[in-house]
């Protein structure tokens, strides 16, 4: 079986690839693609894979736009942070879907499901009503994280999302820094958090940090066309540098 992964978060894509190969080392991952444009170009110049793992929200738009530009005859497993209500619009046109963060047991079940169905599988992609799908997804209200429940000694404490200045990772542990300078350790990884935080308010500036828009007190040019941020509260020795590759995306986010 050969597979392609379409996912714009590099770490999420690599994690999915690793999980797939752990399930079946005989699977061939042909390529990992991270955008609508790169996917369309690839399909125009390559034979169809057996199976696609397809994220819904890519860096340049909803992945359903791919179907408007190129014929897809492969089976599809959606990987998404959208809840089941939003997914019902297209569920019957795919082999399966996986909600992020992806569980290895559910991933194996999806691959097993494809293996059971592939002999009888034929493409339904041409029958997908793309306009209806896009309308369904855009009008469905995605529920973003609004609070965290933190263990604190013998008690539990609620931290509201509006009280958070930024999230950061140290020694593979994730922390919350609040606007009043408190620090809390949480179980979620930054990869998981980017899927459940409102992208209009929070942005992952690098591998170490996700910042709230109002916590940015200053943006300065840095060497080699990078940017560096000053945050409130101060980030101390944490890395607040935005790479050259992410500068345009960051500026677009700030302006949105």
Quote the pTM value.
Answer: 0.52
Listed residue (181, 208, 183) closest to 194, CA to CA: 208
| Residuewise pLDDT in 10s, the chain (256 residues) | 999 999 998 888 999 999 999 999 999 999 999 999 999 999 999 999 999 999 888 888 888 888 888 988 888 888 877 655 445 545 545 778 888 788 889 899 999 988 887 765 544 444 555 555 555 555 554 568 899 999 888 889 999 999 999 999 998 899 999 999 999 999 999 988 988 899 889 999 999 999 999 999 999 999 999 999 999 999 999 999 999 999 999 999 998 7
E-state strands within 164-226 = 164-170, 173-178, 183-186, 202-204, 209-212, 216-221
Burial of residue 239, with CB atoms counted within 10 A of its CB: 0-12 exposed, 13-18 middle, 19 or more buried: middle
Strand partners, 2: 28
Residue 43, helix vs strand vs coil:
helix
Cα gap 17→147, rounded to integer Å? 31
> How many domains in the chain?
2
What local confidence, expressed as pLDDT, does residue 6 receive? 95
Query: 178 is in which domain, residue-wise?
Result: 147-255
**7 and 108, same structural domain?**
yes
Q: Of the candidates 107, 139, 171, which is a domain's last residue?
A: 139
What local confidence, expressed as pLDDT, does residue 67 receive? 85
Long-range contacts of 168-177 (CB under 8 A, 24+ apart): 168/208, 168/209, 168/210, 168/235, 168/238, 169/207, 169/208, 169/209, 170/208, 170/238, 176/148, 176/150, 177/233, 177/235
**245 and 160, same structural domain?**
yes
Listed residue (188, 151, 141) closest to 168, CA to CA: 188
What local confidence, expressed as pLDDT, does residue 119 receive? 63
**37 and 131, same structural domain?**
yes
| Alpha carbons within 13 A on the beta-carbon side of 137 | 18
**15 and 41, same structural domain?**
yes
For residue 47, give the CATH number of its domain: 3.40.50.2300
Q: How many residues are recorded in the chain?
A: 256
**181 and 112, same structural domain?**
no
Q: Give φ, ψ of 116 to 5 degrees.
A: -70, -35
**113 and 8, same structural domain?**
yes
What local confidence, expressed as pLDDT, does residue 21 receive? 96
Number of Cβ within 10 Å of residue 170's Cβ equals 11
For residue 200, give the CATH number of its domain: 2.40.50.1020
């Amino acid at each position: 079986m050969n597979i392609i992964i379409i996912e714009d978060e590099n770490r999420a894509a690599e994690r999915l690839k690793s999980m797939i190969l752990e399930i079946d080392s005989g699977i061939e991952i042909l390529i990992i693609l991270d955008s609508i444009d790169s996917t369309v170009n690839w399909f125009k110049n390559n034979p169809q894979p057996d199976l696609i793992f397809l994220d819904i929200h890519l860096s340049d738009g909803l992945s359903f736009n791919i179907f408007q530009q190129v014929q897809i005859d492969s089976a599809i497993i959606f990987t998404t942070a959208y809840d089941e209500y939003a997914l019902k619009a297209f569920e019957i046109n795919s082999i399966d879907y996986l909600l992020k963060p992806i569980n290895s047991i559910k991933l194996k079940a999806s691959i097993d499901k494809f293996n059971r169905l592939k002999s009888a599988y034929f493409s339904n992609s041409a029958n997908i009503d793309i306009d209806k799908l896009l309308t369904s997804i855009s009008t469905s209200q995605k529920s973003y994280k609004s609070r965290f429940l933190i263990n604190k000694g013998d008690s539990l404490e609620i931290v509201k999302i509006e009280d958070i200045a930024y999230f950061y990772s140290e020694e593979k542990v994730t922390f919350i820094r609040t606007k009043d300078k408190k620090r809390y350790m949480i179980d979620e990884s930054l990869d998981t958090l980017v899927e459940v935080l409102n992208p209009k308010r929070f942005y992952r500036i690098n591998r170490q940090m996700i910042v709230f828009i109002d916590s940015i007190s200053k943006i300065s040019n840095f060497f080699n066309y990078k940017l560096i941020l000053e945050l409130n509260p101060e980030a101390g020795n944490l890395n607040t540098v935005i790479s050259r590759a992410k500068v345009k995306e960051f500026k677009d986010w700030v302006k949105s």
